[in-house]
Amino acid sequence: MISYETNLVNLIAQFGGNDGKCRHYLECLKWPGGPVCPRCGKEGVKISQRESYDCTACHYQFTVTAGSIFHDSHLPLWKWFLATYMVVESKKGMSANQLKRTLEISYKTAWYLCHRIRKAMEEANPAKLSGTVEIDETYVGGKRRHVGRGSLEGKTMVLGAIERGGDVRLRVEGSKKASKGVLHKFVAETTDPKADRLMTDEAPGYLGIADEDTTHETVNQKAEEWVRGDVHTNGIEGVWSLFKRSIVGSYHQVSAKHLDAYLDEFEWRFNQRKNPYLFRDTIARLLNSPKMEFKELIEKGA
Ligand SMILES: [Zn+2]
C-alpha cells in the first residue's frame, strides 16, 4: 500500500531512480478502482512486460500518463516527483536555478518544470472569503534605483484579501491606482456578499464596500493606529512580508509578465499550509491538467 504522507527521505527511498514505482503511484491516484479506458470507460488489463493497458471492451491501448504532461516529457518520472516535492515544500519558493543544481537538469528543463508545477497549483474556482476579511494593496517589482518613497515607476500593484484563520486571495492589478472601481471590483470577486466584517486601511477607494449584512471597519495607518481592539489588518500585512521575502530570497527580480504565476504558487502554498497531502494533491493536479507546450511558455517570455 502507498503512503501518501511524504518527506524527502521517504520520497527518495520510495521513488529515487525508479520510474516503475512512480508509475504505480500515478495509477493508484488516477484509478483507485483499477484501470479505466479513457475512450469507453470500461476496465483495462495490463499488457505483460509493458506500461500499457488493453481495454477489455474496445481494445484501445492506454497508459496512466497518456494525454498528461508526464507523457511527452523526456524527463524521468522520479525527477518530476522530486521537483514537485521541492516546489511544493519550499516555503519561500524555488527558483529554476536551484532546481537545475539540485536535480542535475538543464536550466531550460528546470524553468519548464517550475512553470508546469506552478500552473498545476492554480486554484480553478476558489471559494469566496467569509467571516472577517482583511483587504489591502501593495506594490512589487521595479528597479532598485526607483525604490525611493512615493515612486511607483516600474512597480506592479497587487491586491490581497485574507479571511481570518483561512485562505488568502491575491491578484495582480494592471492599474497603478487603487481607485474605487479597482478596489470594489476586487472585493466583489473575492469575498462573499454575506461576509460579516471587512477591515481595511483608510484609503478612500474602500469607502462604500459595506452593506446591510457586512460592516466595514478601518484602521488609520498614517496616524500609526495599527490595531484597535480586533480591528486590524495584521493578517494581510503578514502575507505581504512573507511574499516580499520570498521574492527577495529566491527570485531577486520577478518580471511583471510572470508575477501572476508566482502569486498563484504563493497563494496555493499558503492556503494549503495545513494540508499533509500537498505533494500527492499537486501530483494529481499535474496528472489531470492539460498539456502546455514548451513553445507556448517560451513565447510568453522567460
Ligand atoms: Zn475501451
In terms of Cβ atoms closer than 10 Å to its own Cβ (0-12, 13-18, 19+), residue 114 is buried
What is the model's pLDDT at position 69?
Answer: 84
The Å distance, Cα 168 to ligand 1 centre, comes to 42
Reported as a pLDDT band with limits 50, 70 and 90, residue 115 is confident
The Å distance, Cα 60 to ligand 1 centre, comes to 5
The Å distance, Cα 37 to ligand 1 centre, comes to 5
DSSP structure string for 121-136: HS-SSPPPB-SEEEEE
The Å distance, Cα 59 to ligand 1 centre, comes to 6
Share of the chain above pLDDT 70, in %: 82
Q: Torsions phi, psi of 37, nearest 5?
A: -65, 125
Q: Torsions phi, psi of 12, nearest 5?
A: -70, -40
- Give the SS3 label for residue 261: helix
Query: Poorest-confidence range of 40-49, 176-185, 290-299?
Result: 290-299
Reported as a pLDDT band with limits 50, 70 and 90, residue 230 is confident
The Å distance, Cα 88 to ligand 1 centre, comes to 35
Instruction: Return the percent helix, strand and coil in the chain, to nearest 5.
Output: 45, 15, 40
Contact predicate 52/61, CB 8 Å: yes
Average pLDDT score over residue span 61-66: 92
Contact predicate 212/136, CB 8 Å: no
Q: Which residue has the cell 478596489?
A: 183
The Å distance, Cα 146 to ligand 1 centre, comes to 61
Average pLDDT score over residue span 49-66: 92
Residue 39 burial (CB count, 10 A): 13
Q: Torsions phi, psi of 264, nearest 5?
A: -60, -45
The Å distance, Cα 23 to ligand 1 centre, comes to 20
Average pLDDT score over residue span 29-37: 93
Q: Which residue has the cell 478502482?
A: 33
Average pLDDT score over residue span 73-84: 90
pLDDT digits (tens, 9 = 90+) for 257-294: 678 878 887 888 888 887 888 888 889 988 987 665 55
- Give the SS3 label for residue 218: strand
The Å distance, Cα 53 to ligand 1 centre, comes to 10
**Averaged pLDDT score across all residues of the chain:** 84
pLDDT digits (tens, 9 = 90+) for 232-258: 899 999 999 988 887 765 555 666 667
Nearest by Cα to 23 from 102, 80, 89: 80
Q: Which residue has the cell 506500461?
A: 51
Residues 206 and 203: their CA atoms lie apart, in Å, by 6
Q: Please, which residues have CB less than 5 A from ligand 1, an ion?
A: 37, 39-40, 42, 55, 57-58, 60
The Å distance, Cα 124 to ligand 1 centre, comes to 29
The Å distance, Cα 40 to ligand 1 centre, comes to 4
